[in-house]
Amino acid sequence: MTEHNNTNASGEQPTHGAGDGSKDGSSSGEPLDEAWEAFAHDHAQDLEDVERSRNAKRFERHAKRAEKKALLSVNDLDQGTFTDDAIGAGRGPRDITASSWLDTDDVMDRYGDQFVPPTSFAPTPRRIILFTTLTVIGVLGIIASVLVPKFTGIIGTVCAVCLLLGIAGLVASRRGHNERTDPFDDGARV
């Protein structure tokens, strides 16, 4: 079907080896082998020059590097790598055994009554507001004392005392968690 695209010299037909699926694997390809040997003999000097050239050596180095780089081939991998057996049969969304966030009562019963909700919606205690205000006034006052050199001594001293009292009060009022005697006294359970 494609014989009109034959680019070989007139009279030369491509030879097929025994393993390439051709109809008759008995042809040995002698005419082309002889022609290649004649070409190699006629141009031996040119071929030796090409072999010794810089580009040939560079190509050899590049080929060796590429050969070393290809350490893992697709043929080295198991067929299961490309199919579903890597995940495992019978796994799906209904096979998950972890608890849902909707199971709050079960989780709280399982882990005990020491659970303290991470956020408290109770109003902020007045002492926290007072100490935070003292800290902010102290920081702003120290900045103002640097910017207004006339009152540095008075403003700096008063605001430094406010800052120290505010930070000390915040540190002292910081508590870890509330000890609850009854699991239902904080209203966290629904």
* Domain spans, the chain: 31-59, 124-173
Q: In this predicted structure, what is the pLDDT of residue 4?
A: 62
Confidence of residue 24 (pLDDT cuts 50, 70, 90): very low
Output DSSP code: residue 25: T
Tell me how long the chain is. 190
Q: In this predicted structure, what is the pLDDT of residue 94?
A: 72
CA-nearest of 94, 101, 99, 166 to 136 is 166
Q: Quick one: 152 exposed, middle or buried, by C-beta within 10 A (0-12, 13-18, 19+)?
A: middle
Q: What is the pLDDT of residues 61-99, one digit of tens each?
A: 888 888 877 676 677 777 766 665 545 555 667 777 776
- Where residue 90 falls (left for φ over 0; alpha for ψ -120 to 50; beta otherwise) is left
Q: What is the pLDDT of residues 132-186, one digit of tens each?
A: 999 999 999 999 999 988 888 899 999 999 999 999 999 888 765 555 566 666 6
Q: Is the pTM of this model over 0.85?
A: no
